[in-house]
Copies of this chain bind each other. A is one copy, B any other.
């Protein structure tokens, strides 16, 4: 909030995404933020405390990715969200009484603040306020798509959706002409993210591999030969490209 400027995303209503894509505010992290936050380097699996000696924490992801997992009484686990560079997470986003757990899915770097300090920064610097607001809005919109995927897609659609998401985020053009990207989550976490059984997920990916859409040159890395074909498998393809930007697709690795 704070600034009267228009959202960087060209604002759209319903309807198909135009080719001019809303580029998320990566790189655009306000300098004042980086100067004030505590830098935390993350390693895969590392968990991040939601409180800093009793007071609420806020995180801003600079590199790598985080995930928020909740666990409900009978051991039902759900990975609620994956946070990519540019995303923000306030501890109050975690639901109470649900064993909320924030952890890194890959090595990277996050900025950490006390919420009180962060709010003061935002109050005094419109750029920070606007950055935070836009990040929250972007993430909320992404969550909506994820919700629809988990609520309505069959297993192949869900997996395709996730792969497209990863490809758009971290994909690089491979020398051989396809698209490669990290698969930082293990099968269980991926299944928990997609609301699937780990066995079902494994089967589904095997089928994608068998159909030639996907291959695993090495563990924790995927190669997609024909991105268009993969995107055609998920009803959310348009929304995802609009949300993540297609910048990644042109980067060469």
Q: Which residues of A contact B (CB under 8 A)?
A: 1-7, 9, 11-17, 22, 49-51, 54-56, 68, 70, 72-74, 76-78, 80-81, 90-101, 115-123, 126, 129-130, 132-134, 136-138, 140-148, 150-153, 192, 194-195, 235-236, 238-239, 242-243
Question: Could you list 21 examples of A-B contacts with CB < 8 Å?
Answer: A1-B121, A3-B123, A4-B120, A9-B92, A11-B92, A13-B100, A76-B152, A76-B153, A78-B147, A80-B147, A92-B134, A92-B140, A94-B144, A95-B243, A97-B239, A97-B242, A98-B236, A123-B129, A136-B140, A140-B140, A147-B150
The smallest C-beta distance from A189 to any residue of chain B, in angstroms, reads 13
Q: How many copies does the complex hold?
A: 2
Query: Are B152 and A239 in contact, with the CB atoms below 8 A?
Result: no
> A235 and B152: CB pair below 8 A?
no
| Apart from A11-B91, A12-B96, A14-B101, 6 more pairs, CB < 8 Å | A1-B122, A6-B116, A13-B91, A92-B138, A96-B238, A140-B143
